[in-house]
A = this chain, B = another copy of it.
Amino acid sequence: MRGVVTVAVDANGADLGPREVAEGAIIAAANGVRVRLYGPRGEIGEVPDGVDVVDAPVSIAKSADPAHAVRRTPESSIVQAARAVGAGEADALVSGGSTGSALAAGLFHMKRAQGIYRPALALPMPIPGAPVLLLDVGANTEVRPEHLVQFAFMGSAFAQAVMGIDDPRVALLSNGEEPTKGTPNIVAVHAQLAAVRREVLRFVGNVEGTQVTGGAADVVVMDGFTGNVTLKVIEGVSTTLFGAIRARAEISPRAKLGGLLLRPALRGLRDELDPEGPGGAYMLGLRRLGVVAHGRFTRRGFARAIEVAAHGVQEDVIGRTHAALAAAGVLRQPSEVEATVTPS
Protein backbone atom coordinates (compact mmCIF):
# COMPACT_ATOMS: atom_id res chain seq x y z
CA MET A 1 0.00 0.00 0.00
CA ARG A 2 1.19 3.45 -0.92
CA GLY A 3 0.41 6.77 0.70
CA VAL A 4 -1.48 9.53 -1.05
CA VAL A 5 -1.96 8.90 -4.76
CA THR A 6 -1.97 11.67 -7.36
CA VAL A 7 -4.21 11.29 -10.40
CA ALA A 8 -3.79 13.47 -13.51
CA VAL A 9 -7.16 14.24 -15.05
CA ASP A 10 -7.94 15.62 -18.50
CA ALA A 11 -10.90 17.92 -17.92
CA ASN A 12 -11.59 18.48 -21.64
CA GLY A 13 -13.92 16.33 -23.70
CA ALA A 14 -16.68 15.64 -21.18
CA ASP A 15 -20.16 16.33 -22.55
CA LEU A 16 -21.11 18.36 -19.47
CA GLY A 17 -17.95 20.46 -19.66
CA PRO A 18 -14.77 20.91 -17.59
CA ARG A 19 -16.60 22.10 -14.47
CA GLU A 20 -18.45 18.77 -14.19
CA VAL A 21 -15.11 16.94 -14.28
CA ALA A 22 -13.80 19.36 -11.63
CA GLU A 23 -16.80 18.56 -9.42
CA GLY A 24 -15.89 14.89 -9.73
CA ALA A 25 -12.31 15.71 -8.81
CA ILE A 26 -13.53 17.60 -5.73
CA ILE A 27 -15.50 14.53 -4.59
CA ALA A 28 -12.46 12.27 -5.11
CA ALA A 29 -10.19 14.74 -3.28
CA ALA A 30 -12.59 14.70 -0.33
CA ASN A 31 -12.04 10.93 -0.31
CA GLY A 32 -8.28 11.29 -0.06
CA VAL A 33 -7.02 11.34 -3.65
CA ARG A 34 -4.79 14.19 -4.86
CA VAL A 35 -6.03 15.37 -8.27
CA ARG A 36 -4.28 17.46 -10.87
CA LEU A 37 -6.74 18.80 -13.45
CA TYR A 38 -5.64 19.70 -16.98
CA GLY A 39 -8.10 21.96 -18.75
CA PRO A 40 -9.27 25.54 -19.32
CA ARG A 41 -8.79 27.24 -15.93
CA GLY A 42 -11.53 29.76 -16.68
CA GLU A 43 -14.14 27.01 -17.18
CA ILE A 44 -12.87 24.86 -14.35
CA GLY A 45 -13.35 27.62 -11.78
CA GLU A 46 -12.61 27.47 -8.07
CA VAL A 47 -11.27 24.28 -6.55
CA PRO A 48 -10.45 23.41 -2.94
CA ASP A 49 -7.21 22.07 -1.47
CA GLY A 50 -6.30 18.64 -2.81
CA VAL A 51 -7.10 19.67 -6.38
CA ASP A 52 -4.54 21.49 -8.54
CA VAL A 53 -5.33 23.06 -11.87
CA VAL A 54 -2.94 23.26 -14.82
CA ASP A 55 -4.32 25.67 -17.40
CA ALA A 56 -4.54 23.63 -20.63
CA PRO A 57 -7.35 24.97 -22.81
CA VAL A 58 -6.42 23.06 -25.97
CA SER A 59 -8.48 19.89 -26.51
CA ILE A 60 -7.95 17.12 -29.04
CA ALA A 61 -10.87 15.08 -27.74
CA LYS A 62 -12.73 15.20 -31.07
CA SER A 63 -9.74 14.62 -33.36
CA ALA A 64 -10.33 12.18 -36.21
CA ASP A 65 -6.68 11.07 -36.15
CA PRO A 66 -5.72 10.87 -32.47
CA ALA A 67 -2.20 9.50 -32.97
CA HIS A 68 -1.36 12.37 -35.27
CA ALA A 69 -3.06 14.94 -33.01
CA VAL A 70 -1.11 13.67 -29.99
CA ARG A 71 2.21 14.12 -31.77
CA ARG A 72 1.31 17.53 -33.18
CA THR A 73 -0.38 19.05 -30.14
CA PRO A 74 1.94 18.74 -27.13
CA GLU A 75 0.08 21.56 -25.39
CA SER A 76 -3.27 19.72 -25.42
CA SER A 77 -4.71 18.77 -22.05
CA ILE A 78 -4.61 14.99 -22.60
CA VAL A 79 -0.97 15.11 -23.74
CA GLN A 80 0.07 17.27 -20.78
CA ALA A 81 -1.74 14.97 -18.36
CA ALA A 82 -0.24 11.80 -19.87
CA ARG A 83 3.22 13.38 -19.90
CA ALA A 84 2.91 14.25 -16.21
CA VAL A 85 2.06 10.61 -15.47
CA GLY A 86 4.95 9.40 -17.65
CA ALA A 87 7.33 11.73 -15.82
CA GLY A 88 6.21 10.43 -12.44
CA GLU A 89 4.53 13.68 -11.37
CA ALA A 90 1.26 11.77 -11.12
CA ASP A 91 0.51 8.08 -10.60
CA ALA A 92 -2.42 7.47 -12.94
CA LEU A 93 -4.36 9.10 -15.78
CA VAL A 94 -8.09 9.77 -16.11
CA SER A 95 -9.65 11.12 -19.29
CA GLY A 96 -13.22 11.93 -20.19
CA GLY A 97 -12.35 12.64 -23.79
CA SER A 98 -12.07 10.22 -26.69
CA THR A 99 -10.71 6.75 -26.13
CA GLY A 100 -8.47 7.08 -29.17
CA SER A 101 -6.77 10.23 -27.88
CA ALA A 102 -6.29 8.78 -24.40
CA LEU A 103 -4.80 5.58 -25.83
CA ALA A 104 -2.50 7.45 -28.19
CA ALA A 105 -1.34 9.86 -25.47
CA GLY A 106 -0.91 6.97 -23.03
CA LEU A 107 1.20 4.93 -25.44
CA PHE A 108 3.27 7.91 -26.41
CA HIS A 109 3.98 9.35 -22.97
CA MET A 110 3.26 6.64 -20.39
CA LYS A 111 4.80 3.86 -22.55
CA ARG A 112 4.07 0.19 -22.71
CA ALA A 113 4.97 -1.74 -19.57
CA GLN A 114 8.01 -3.96 -19.79
CA GLY A 115 7.28 -7.24 -21.58
CA ILE A 116 3.82 -6.19 -22.81
CA TYR A 117 3.04 -6.49 -26.54
CA ARG A 118 -0.08 -4.37 -26.62
CA PRO A 119 -2.11 -2.35 -24.17
CA ALA A 120 -5.76 -3.38 -23.90
CA LEU A 121 -8.92 -1.58 -22.92
CA ALA A 122 -10.73 -3.41 -20.11
CA LEU A 123 -14.32 -2.68 -19.14
CA PRO A 124 -15.91 -3.86 -15.90
CA MET A 125 -19.54 -4.49 -16.95
CA PRO A 126 -22.11 -3.87 -14.24
CA ILE A 127 -24.24 -7.03 -14.49
CA PRO A 128 -26.75 -7.62 -11.66
CA GLY A 129 -25.10 -10.03 -9.23
CA ALA A 130 -22.26 -10.93 -11.58
CA PRO A 131 -19.93 -8.11 -12.68
CA VAL A 132 -17.63 -9.19 -15.48
CA LEU A 133 -14.46 -7.67 -16.91
CA LEU A 134 -14.34 -7.62 -20.72
CA LEU A 135 -11.08 -7.04 -22.55
CA ASP A 136 -10.05 -5.92 -25.09
CA VAL A 137 -13.05 -3.67 -25.83
CA GLY A 138 -11.42 -1.59 -28.52
CA ALA A 139 -7.70 -0.87 -28.32
CA ASN A 140 -6.68 -3.53 -30.85
CA THR A 141 -8.86 -4.27 -33.87
CA GLU A 142 -6.56 -7.11 -34.85
CA VAL A 143 -4.51 -9.26 -32.54
CA ARG A 144 -2.08 -12.14 -32.54
CA PRO A 145 -2.39 -15.11 -30.15
CA GLU A 146 0.35 -13.80 -27.82
CA HIS A 147 -1.64 -10.59 -27.37
CA LEU A 148 -4.76 -12.43 -26.26
CA VAL A 149 -2.68 -14.61 -23.93
CA GLN A 150 -1.31 -11.51 -22.21
CA PHE A 151 -4.79 -9.96 -22.03
CA ALA A 152 -5.89 -12.96 -19.95
CA PHE A 153 -3.22 -12.22 -17.32
CA MET A 154 -3.76 -8.48 -17.45
CA GLY A 155 -7.49 -9.00 -16.86
CA SER A 156 -6.94 -11.49 -14.07
CA ALA A 157 -4.55 -9.17 -12.21
CA PHE A 158 -6.95 -6.24 -12.62
CA ALA A 159 -9.93 -8.26 -11.38
CA GLN A 160 -7.97 -9.21 -8.26
CA ALA A 161 -6.38 -5.85 -7.51
CA VAL A 162 -9.22 -3.50 -8.42
CA MET A 163 -12.47 -5.49 -8.49
CA GLY A 164 -11.58 -7.45 -5.35
CA ILE A 165 -12.23 -10.86 -6.91
CA ASP A 166 -9.96 -13.33 -5.13
CA ASP A 167 -9.43 -16.07 -7.65
CA PRO A 168 -10.95 -14.74 -10.87
CA ARG A 169 -12.27 -17.19 -13.45
CA VAL A 170 -10.80 -16.21 -16.80
CA ALA A 171 -12.55 -17.29 -20.02
CA LEU A 172 -11.98 -16.88 -23.74
CA LEU A 173 -14.90 -15.75 -25.90
CA SER A 174 -15.57 -18.14 -28.77
CA ASN A 175 -18.36 -19.61 -30.88
CA GLY A 176 -18.45 -22.81 -28.87
CA GLU A 177 -17.20 -24.19 -25.58
CA GLU A 178 -15.02 -26.95 -27.04
CA PRO A 179 -11.26 -26.16 -27.18
CA THR A 180 -11.36 -26.70 -30.96
CA LYS A 181 -14.00 -24.01 -31.55
CA GLY A 182 -13.20 -20.59 -32.95
CA THR A 183 -10.71 -19.00 -35.30
CA PRO A 184 -7.20 -20.50 -35.49
CA ASN A 185 -6.08 -17.64 -33.19
CA ILE A 186 -8.66 -18.56 -30.56
CA VAL A 187 -7.79 -22.26 -30.73
CA ALA A 188 -4.09 -21.46 -30.25
CA VAL A 189 -4.79 -19.15 -27.31
CA HIS A 190 -7.05 -21.72 -25.68
CA ALA A 191 -4.29 -24.34 -25.83
CA GLN A 192 -1.73 -21.96 -24.37
CA LEU A 193 -3.94 -20.77 -21.50
CA ALA A 194 -5.06 -24.31 -20.69
CA ALA A 195 -1.39 -25.22 -20.16
CA VAL A 196 -0.78 -22.48 -17.55
CA ARG A 197 -0.45 -23.64 -13.95
CA ARG A 198 -3.67 -23.25 -11.98
CA GLU A 199 -1.97 -21.11 -9.27
CA VAL A 200 -0.95 -18.54 -11.87
CA LEU A 201 -4.19 -18.32 -13.84
CA ARG A 202 -7.62 -19.84 -13.32
CA PHE A 203 -8.55 -20.47 -16.94
CA VAL A 204 -12.08 -21.87 -17.25
CA GLY A 205 -12.06 -22.39 -21.02
CA ASN A 206 -14.18 -20.91 -23.78
CA VAL A 207 -17.48 -19.18 -23.16
CA GLU A 208 -20.12 -18.37 -25.77
CA GLY A 209 -21.93 -15.08 -26.18
CA THR A 210 -24.87 -16.30 -24.12
CA GLN A 211 -22.60 -16.60 -21.09
CA VAL A 212 -20.92 -13.19 -21.21
CA THR A 213 -23.60 -11.62 -19.01
CA GLY A 214 -24.52 -14.91 -17.35
CA GLY A 215 -21.92 -15.09 -14.60
CA ALA A 216 -19.89 -17.94 -16.13
CA ALA A 217 -16.60 -16.05 -15.75
CA ASP A 218 -15.16 -12.97 -14.03
CA VAL A 219 -12.92 -12.01 -16.94
CA VAL A 220 -13.72 -12.63 -20.62
CA VAL A 221 -10.91 -12.21 -23.16
CA MET A 222 -11.48 -11.21 -26.81
CA ASP A 223 -9.93 -9.12 -29.56
CA GLY A 224 -10.77 -5.41 -29.67
CA PHE A 225 -13.11 -5.68 -32.67
CA THR A 226 -15.21 -8.44 -31.12
CA GLY A 227 -15.03 -6.64 -27.77
CA ASN A 228 -16.33 -3.40 -29.21
CA VAL A 229 -19.19 -5.24 -30.92
CA THR A 230 -19.99 -7.26 -27.78
CA LEU A 231 -20.03 -4.23 -25.53
CA LYS A 232 -22.21 -2.24 -27.90
CA VAL A 233 -24.62 -5.11 -28.57
CA ILE A 234 -25.09 -5.39 -24.79
CA GLU A 235 -25.84 -1.66 -24.63
CA GLY A 236 -28.13 -1.81 -27.65
CA VAL A 237 -30.15 -4.80 -26.46
CA SER A 238 -30.61 -3.23 -23.00
CA THR A 239 -31.88 -0.01 -24.58
CA THR A 240 -34.18 -1.87 -26.97
CA LEU A 241 -35.64 -4.11 -24.26
CA PHE A 242 -36.20 -1.37 -21.68
CA GLY A 243 -37.78 0.73 -24.44
CA ALA A 244 -40.10 -2.12 -25.44
CA ILE A 245 -41.06 -2.75 -21.81
CA ARG A 246 -41.79 0.95 -21.28
CA ALA A 247 -43.96 0.97 -24.41
CA ARG A 248 -45.80 -2.15 -23.23
CA ALA A 249 -46.46 -0.50 -19.87
CA GLU A 250 -48.52 2.11 -21.74
CA ILE A 251 -50.90 -0.13 -23.65
CA SER A 252 -53.69 -0.34 -21.06
CA PRO A 253 -54.75 1.29 -17.78
CA ARG A 254 -53.96 -2.00 -16.05
CA ALA A 255 -50.44 -2.12 -17.52
CA LYS A 256 -49.92 1.54 -16.65
CA LEU A 257 -50.78 0.93 -13.02
CA GLY A 258 -48.51 -2.14 -12.98
CA GLY A 259 -45.64 -0.11 -14.42
CA LEU A 260 -46.18 2.61 -11.83
CA LEU A 261 -46.10 0.14 -8.94
CA LEU A 262 -43.06 -1.66 -10.32
CA ARG A 263 -41.08 1.49 -11.03
CA PRO A 264 -39.27 1.90 -7.66
CA ALA A 265 -38.08 -1.71 -7.81
CA LEU A 266 -36.82 -1.28 -11.36
CA ARG A 267 -35.03 1.91 -10.35
CA GLY A 268 -32.83 -0.29 -8.15
CA LEU A 269 -32.01 -2.39 -11.19
CA ARG A 270 -31.11 0.70 -13.18
CA ASP A 271 -28.69 1.66 -10.40
CA GLU A 272 -27.11 -1.78 -10.57
CA LEU A 273 -26.66 -1.40 -14.32
CA ASP A 274 -25.34 2.16 -14.00
CA PRO A 275 -22.40 2.57 -16.41
CA GLU A 276 -20.91 5.23 -14.12
CA GLY A 277 -20.49 2.66 -11.37
CA PRO A 278 -17.25 1.09 -12.64
CA GLY A 279 -15.80 4.51 -13.55
CA GLY A 280 -15.03 3.71 -17.18
CA ALA A 281 -12.71 1.54 -19.24
CA TYR A 282 -9.17 0.82 -18.05
CA MET A 283 -6.04 1.06 -20.16
CA LEU A 284 -3.98 -1.93 -19.08
CA GLY A 285 -0.46 -2.77 -20.19
CA LEU A 286 1.11 0.67 -19.81
CA ARG A 287 3.70 1.58 -17.16
CA ARG A 288 0.94 3.39 -15.28
CA LEU A 289 -2.77 2.87 -15.03
CA GLY A 290 -5.13 4.89 -17.22
CA VAL A 291 -8.91 5.20 -17.09
CA VAL A 292 -11.16 6.43 -19.89
CA ALA A 293 -14.37 7.70 -18.34
CA HIS A 294 -17.34 8.02 -20.70
CA GLY A 295 -17.81 11.52 -22.08
CA ARG A 296 -21.44 11.56 -20.98
CA PHE A 297 -20.61 10.83 -17.33
CA THR A 298 -21.68 13.17 -14.56
CA ARG A 299 -19.43 14.23 -11.66
CA ARG A 300 -20.26 10.98 -9.90
CA GLY A 301 -18.76 8.92 -12.73
CA PHE A 302 -15.64 11.07 -12.89
CA ALA A 303 -15.18 10.84 -9.11
CA ARG A 304 -15.52 7.09 -9.40
CA ALA A 305 -12.97 6.91 -12.25
CA ILE A 306 -10.44 8.91 -10.21
CA GLU A 307 -11.01 6.86 -7.06
CA VAL A 308 -10.77 3.52 -8.88
CA ALA A 309 -7.57 4.66 -10.61
CA ALA A 310 -6.09 5.61 -7.21
CA HIS A 311 -7.21 2.28 -5.78
CA GLY A 312 -5.50 0.47 -8.67
CA VAL A 313 -2.25 2.31 -7.90
CA GLN A 314 -2.47 1.44 -4.20
CA GLU A 315 -3.15 -2.19 -4.99
CA ASP A 316 -0.28 -2.21 -7.49
CA VAL A 317 -2.20 -3.58 -10.45
CA ILE A 318 0.80 -2.90 -12.72
CA GLY A 319 3.22 -4.84 -10.53
CA ARG A 320 0.81 -7.73 -10.06
CA THR A 321 0.21 -7.99 -13.79
CA HIS A 322 3.94 -8.12 -14.43
CA ALA A 323 4.47 -10.77 -11.77
CA ALA A 324 1.71 -12.99 -13.19
CA LEU A 325 3.03 -12.65 -16.76
CA ALA A 326 6.55 -13.43 -15.56
CA ALA A 327 5.37 -16.47 -13.57
CA ALA A 328 3.63 -17.82 -16.67
CA GLY A 329 6.63 -17.10 -18.88
CA VAL A 330 4.62 -15.05 -21.36
CA LEU A 331 6.43 -11.72 -21.13
CA ARG A 332 7.63 -10.41 -24.44
CA GLN A 333 11.35 -10.90 -24.83
CA PRO A 334 13.48 -7.81 -25.50
CA SER A 335 14.70 -9.36 -28.77
CA GLU A 336 11.18 -9.65 -30.20
CA VAL A 337 10.23 -7.04 -32.73
CA GLU A 338 6.76 -5.54 -32.33
CA ALA A 339 5.17 -3.28 -34.88
CA THR A 340 4.15 0.18 -33.73
CA VAL A 341 0.71 0.15 -32.25
CA THR A 342 -1.84 2.44 -33.83
CA PRO A 343 -4.94 2.70 -31.70
CA SER A 344 -8.12 2.44 -33.74
A residues touching B (Cβ–Cβ < 8 Å)?
127-129, 138, 141-142, 173, 175-176, 181-184, 208-214, 224-226, 228-242, 244-245, 247-249, 251-252, 254-255, 257-266, 268-269, 272, 344
Within the complex, what minimum Cβ distance (angstroms) separates A61 from chain B?
16
CB-nearest residue of chain B to A173 = B229
Query: A225 touching B265 by the CB < 8 A rule?
Result: no
Query: Can you name 6 A-B residue pairings with CB atoms under 8 Å?
Result: A175-B344, A210-B236, A226-B229, A241-B242, A248-B262, A258-B258
Q: How would you classify the secondary structure of chain A's contact residues: helix, strand, loop or mixed?
A: helix
Within the complex, what minimum Cβ distance (angstroms) separates A13 from chain B?
17
Within the complex, what minimum Cβ distance (angstroms) separates A219 from chain B?
16
A247 neighbours in B (Cβ, 8 Å): 128
Q: How far is the CA of A228 from the CA of B209 in the complex (A)?
A: 8
A249 neighbours in B (Cβ, 8 Å): 262, 265
Within the complex, what minimum Cβ distance (angstroms) separates A182 from chain B?
7
Q: How far is the CA of A224 from the CA of B181 in the complex (A)?
A: 12
Query: B183 touching A209 by the CB < 8 A rule?
Result: no
Query: A231 touching B209 by the CB < 8 A rule?
Result: yes
A258 neighbours in B (Cβ, 8 Å): 257-263, 265
Query: B209 touching A232 by the CB < 8 A rule?
Result: yes
A225-B183, A229-B229 are known contacts. Are A236 and B211 too (CB-CB below 8 A)?
Answer: yes
Query: B233 touching A212 by the CB < 8 A rule?
Result: yes
A212 neighbours in B (Cβ, 8 Å): 233, 236
Query: B182 touching A141 by the CB < 8 A rule?
Result: yes
A264 neighbours in B (Cβ, 8 Å): 252, 254-255
Q: How far is the CA of A211 from the CA of B231 in the complex (A)?
A: 12
Instruction: Choose one: B142, B234, B262, B268; the contact of A233 (CB below 8 Å).
Output: B234
